[in-house]
Amino acid sequence: MIIIVGAGLSGFLTAYLLQKEGIPFKIVEARNRVGGRINTIYRENEAPIEMGATWFNSQHPHLIALLEELGIERFEQFMDSKVFYQTNPNLPAQIVEVPKNEPSYRISGGTSTLIDTLLQKLKPEDIILNQAVNHITINGKIITIKAEKVFQADMVVLALPPKLWANRITFEPEISKDLREIALHTHTWMEDSIKIALTFAKPFWKEENIPRTLFSNVGPVVEFYDQADTKNSKYALCGFINSAFQKLSKAERKQLVINQLKNIFGSSVTEFSHYEECVWSEDSECFQDSVSPLYPHQNNGNPIFRDTYFDQRLIFSGSETSSRFPGYMEGAVISAKETVRKIVELQSK
């Protein structure tokens, strides 16, 4: 029996691939939902909006191949040729032309479609929610995984960001100092970002012939993009605000966001149906204070994570451990495939 800790894309895909190999497993997840840093919000008659992972491109072949295998479609992210650009709080935003870049894509129906499709292929009894793992004991061939409940396995896969397990899980016997130190100093991609979205009944930007894309050095909104649904028949704008605004209340943030957007897009932007935000630094299953400041992607993909430990019974996985595109969905897919390749190899010995 293999226990996979974490029901994000990496843990979920590991489960799906193990199931295909006929290898028994259970997934143990701290939250009361699956998907981890993938979280699409659905409302009836509105565009699905992404509070977590959203975009990918042609450089992400493992993710694209997975979508194709699962029969999930993708569509191109709309990008204006002219965008609003705000450089200075005392000057109005300018409309500037931007060069055409390689397109990025979104998952049709929202990124959570990928998680929901995998979910449908797994047995409900193999997914155990509301179990935050806090202790792992390795005693010869038996591994005991402690959360609120206690699980036993002969192999465990940690499919969560290294900084999280290094702070939250104790090991008996202890893992090496080097491994723990590196994990404590491994950046978790986007862990302190703030995503916001506004849904609209009508695309006022089309009627008024103005850009719907914004880049700002002023804030609080620093990037804002079209987030219409696949058919471009339900409308939303979605982007990021500066992480420093985490200190404010939701009502204060919302007010500042709307004031800024009204100055740029005009009063039509205030006719939104819903304001949605996600402050990831308030999400305890994603964010973890660092012992010292980390730069983006610090120690991501460190080879120390790709060794197996305790007689090949403990495997570290998750996007941040991937040798390629760590931190991204592509990295999560690569780490899951690599983990299952190792398990199959070990079991066939």
Q: Is residue 31 a contact point for ligand FAD (CB under 6 A)?
A: yes
46 belongs to the binding site for ligand FAD (CB under 6 A)? no
Nearest to ligand FAD of 190, 214 (CB atom): 190
Q: Which of 9, 127, 269, 334 binds ligand FAD (CB under 6 A)?
A: 9
Number of residues that bind ligand FAD (CB under 6 A): 40
Report if residue 30 touches ligand FAD, rule: CB under 6 A.
yes
Q: Is 85 or 305 the residue whose CB approaches ligand FAD more closely? A: 305
Position 299 contacts ligand FAD (CB under 6 A): no
Show the site string, 117-136: x = touches ligand FAD by CB under 6 A, - = not. Answer: ---------------xx---
Interface with ligand FAD in residues 165-184 (CB under 6 A): 168
Q: In whole angstroms, how close is the CB of 331 to ligand FAD at the nearest point?
A: 6
3-class secondary structure per residue, the chain = CEEEECCCHHHHHHHHHHHHHCCCEEEECCCCCCCCCCCEECCCCCCCEECCCCCECCCCHHHHHHHHHHCCCEEECCCCCEEEEECCCCCCCEEEECCCCCCCEEECCCCHHHHHHHHHHCCHHHEECCCCCCEEEEECCEEEEECCCEEEECEEEECCCHHHHHHHCEEECCCCHHHHHHHHCCCCCCCCCEEEEEEECCCHHHHCCCCCCEEECCCCEEEEEECCCCCCCCEEEEEEECHHHHHCCHHHHHHHHHHHHHHHHCHHHHHCCEEEEEEHHHCCCCCCCCCCCCCCCCCCCCHHHHCEECCCCEEECCHHHCCCCCCCHHHHHHHHHHHHHHHHHHHCC
List the interface residues with ligand FAD, window 233-292 (CB under 6 A): 280, 285-286
Residue 162 binds ligand FAD (CB under 6 A)? no
Q: How far is the CB of 271 from ligand FAD (least distance, A)?
A: 26
Residue 37 binding ligand FAD, by CB under 6 A: yes
Based on CB atoms, which residue is closest to ligand FAD, 52 or 203? 52
Question: Which residue, 164 or 343, is less far from ligand FAD as judged by CB?
Answer: 164
302 binds ligand FAD (CB under 6 A): no
Chain positions contacting ligand FAD, by CB under 6 A: 5-11, 28-31, 36-38, 52-56, 132-133, 159-161, 164, 168, 189-190, 193, 195, 280, 285-286, 318-319, 327-329, 331-332
